[in-house]
């Protein structure tokens, strides 16, 4: 009741601002960043800048469209959660038709740009990612299983493959290895958020792991996934995709991630959980930045 009352009495943002919030710009930025890294790793030379620019815009637009549909589908759930109650869909200050129109416009333009100015493969892969997140994850997995973020994490892990497809018109094993890294990264990243927001998810009736199996169980799985993540991030060096610079960064970042997860496992606090969530975002940004730096700026690395 208090959430609903606060959402009614607080000022209503402009329509443009409400549209922007529905596209989850911070999440979109990280996804697009990983896609751009995939573009530059796809070739030993400087990639076609038109494909980089148009591909980036197209992927961004389709990601934003998927997030808008996610907000539309989950508007009743969002209204019961403090973190999401201020979204226009949850407050009822933006109509379903407006959200559908926004998503259709963004998605349609994104698909047109990818198909017309990049290549059909990038469009179809990005559209499949849209369906995977907006429909399979949001409608089928999220409300039904505590493993939702594990199974549905593939759609969120796809950006490097999408970027790779934009430049190379193919998705080789190296691109799928980058997808695997994000796939393994997603559960500890998201579960750290779910831990300190567990009351929100319980109120919303969503079967997130801390709600269904408890915080201790979730903390153990976060720790186990960070160990698996460290092993996975070493693989680009093992197969000769990257050199010593990336390996050093992967080991330093991975060991730090494990240490923070171990601290959280030993002694829980919301502050530690929140700090781990924030670090996980920095971790992925620095890891993929190290891949790019190693690939382009360190000859013979």
pLDDT of 32-78, one tens digit each? 999 999 999 999 888 999 999 999 999 999 999 999 999 999 999 88
**Residue 2 pLDDT > 80, yes or no?**
no
**Residue 83 pLDDT > 90, yes or no?**
no
**Residue 4 pLDDT > 60, yes or no?**
no
Band the pLDDT of 172: cuts 50, 70, 90. very high
- Round the CA-based radius of gyration of the chain to a whole number and report it: 20
Neighbouring C-beta atoms of residue 65, cutoff 10 Å: 25
* Dist. CA 294–CA 43, nearest whole Å: 13
- Mean of the per-residue pLDDT values for the chain? 91
- In this prediction, residue 8 carries a pLDDT of 41
What angle, 0 to 180 degrees and rounded to 10, lies between the N-to-C axes of helices 120-131 and 96-117?
150
Q: 192 is written with which tokens?
A: 């750290």
pLDDT of 150-166, one tens digit each? 888 888 999 999 999 99
Calculate the CA dihedral of residues 274, 276, 282, 284 and round it to 10 degrees: -130
Which of these ranges, 6-20, 247-261, 275-289, has the smallest mean pLDDT?
Answer: 6-20
- The domain locations on the chain are 1-171, 172-301
Rounded to a whole number, what is the largest CA-CA distance in the chain? 61
- In this prediction, residue 113 carries a pLDDT of 98
* Location of structure tokens 């039904």: 144
- In this prediction, residue 233 carries a pLDDT of 98
DSSP 19-54: HHHHT-HHHHHHHHHHHHHHHHHS-SS---HHHHHH
Closest of 231, 222, 190, 220 to residue 208, by C-alpha? 190
- In this prediction, residue 300 carries a pLDDT of 45
Q: 270 is written with which tokens?
A: 């919301």
- Which of 1.10.357.140, 1.20.1080.10, 1.10.10.60, 3.40.50.300 is the CATH number of 1-171? 1.10.357.140
Band the pLDDT of 10: cuts 50, 70, 90. low
- In this prediction, residue 14 carries a pLDDT of 87
pTM metric for this prediction: 0.91
Average pLDDT over residues 210-220: 95
- Which of 2.40.128, 1.20.58, 3.30.450, 1.20.120 is the CATH number of 172-301? 1.20.120
Calculate the CA dihedral of residues 165, 166, 167, 172 and round it to 10 degrees: 0
Calculate the CA dihedral of residues 233, 239, 245, 251 and round it to 10 degrees: 30
* Dist. CA 67–CA 141, nearest whole Å: 16
**Residue 133 pLDDT > 80, yes or no?**
yes
- In this prediction, residue 6 carries a pLDDT of 42
- In this prediction, residue 298 carries a pLDDT of 61
**Residue 273 pLDDT > 50, yes or no?**
yes
pLDDT of 15-28, one tens digit each? 888 888 999 998 99
DSSP the chain: -HHHHHHHHSPPPPHHHHHHHHT-HHHHHHHHHHHHHHHHHS-SS---HHHHHHHHHHHHHHHHHHHHHHHHHTHHHHHT-TTTTTSHHHHT-S-HHHHHHHHHHHHHHHHHHHHHHT-HHHHHHHHHHHHIIIIIIIIIITTT-TTHHHHTHHHHT-HHHHHHHHHHSS--HHHHHHHHHHHHHHHHHHHHHHHHTHHHHHHHT---HHHHH-HHHHHHHHHHHHHHHHHHHTHHHHTTSS-HHHHHHHHHHHHHHHHHHHHHHHS--HHHHHHHHHHHHHHHHHHHHHHHHHHHHSTT-
**Residue 201 pLDDT > 60, yes or no?**
yes
């Amino acid at each position: 009741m208090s959430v609903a009352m606060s959402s009614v009495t607080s000022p209503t943002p402009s329509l443009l601002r409400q549209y922007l919030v529905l596209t989850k710009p911070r999440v979109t930025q990280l996804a697009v960043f990983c896609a751009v890294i995939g573009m530059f790793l796809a070739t030993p030379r400087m990639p076609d800048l038109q494909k980089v620019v148009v591909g980036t815009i197209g992927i961004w637009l389709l990601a934003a469209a998927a997030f808008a549909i996610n907000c539309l589908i989950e508007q009743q759930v969002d209204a019961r959660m403090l973190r999401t109650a201020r979204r226009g869909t949850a407050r009822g200050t933006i109509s379903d038709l407006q959200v559908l129109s926004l998503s259709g416009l963004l998605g349609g333009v994104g698909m047109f740009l990818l198909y017309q100015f990049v290549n059909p493969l990038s469009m179809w892969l990005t559209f499949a990612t849209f369906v995977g997140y907006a429909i399979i994850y949001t409608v089928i997995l999220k409300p039904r299983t505590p493993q939702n973020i594990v199974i549905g994490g593939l759609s969120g892990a796809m950006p490097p493959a999408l970027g790779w497809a934009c430049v190379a018109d193919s998705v080789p094993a190296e691109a799928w290895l980058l997808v695997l890294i994000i796939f393994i990264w997603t559960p500890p990243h998201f579960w750290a958020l779910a831990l300190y927001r567990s009351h929100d998810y319980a109120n919303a009736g969503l079967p997130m792991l801390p709600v269904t199996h408890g915080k201790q169980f979730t903390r153990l799985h976060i720790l186990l996934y960070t160990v698996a993540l460290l092993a996975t991030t070493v693989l680009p060096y093992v197969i000769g995709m990257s050199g010593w610079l990336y390996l050093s960064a992967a080991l330093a970042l991975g060991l730090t991630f494990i240490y923070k997860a171990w601290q959280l496992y030993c002694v829980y606090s919301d502050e530690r959980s929140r700090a781990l969530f924030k670090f996980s975002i920095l971790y992925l940004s620095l890891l993929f930045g190290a891949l790019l730096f190693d690939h382009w700026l360190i000859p013979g690395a």
